[in-house]
Structure 1
């Protein structure tokens, strides 16, 4: 998902250089949304992994 956000930023940069301001703005907004979703998913999966790891550790003790 981070790769897709970076791709959107590159497309936005190229569009801005070529003078397509509306497309560039839309792609930047899309990149921001994708980045925020990626960070939220990272934090959720980090929390779930820590909980699962603790349960596995407790089962061995």
Structure 2
């Protein structure tokens, strides 16, 4: 599960970076993607901490 969340986090950060720097997609969507990536990263970290 934690690997899946880290994969989702990396993909969302890449999409965010592309949208922010390359394609200039609407700012609301870009910032929502960044928030989603942070939330997935935190959940993945919590799962990692709980299993260790």
Query: Structure 1: where are the runs of 5+ without partners?
Result: 47-61
User: What's the counterpart of residue 15 of structure 1?
Assistant: 19
User: What's the counterpart of residue 29 of structure 1?
Assistant: 35
Query: Structure 2: where are the runs of 5+ without partners?
Result: none
- Structure with the bigger RCO (C-alpha within 8 Å, sep 6+) is 2
Give the alignment's TM-score, normalised by structure 1.
0.70
Q: Runs of 4+ in structure 1 displaced over 6 angstroms?
A: none
Give the number of aligned pairs: 46
Give the alignment's TM-score, normalised by structure 2.
0.81
Q: Separation in 1 of the partners of 2:13 and 2:51?
A: 25
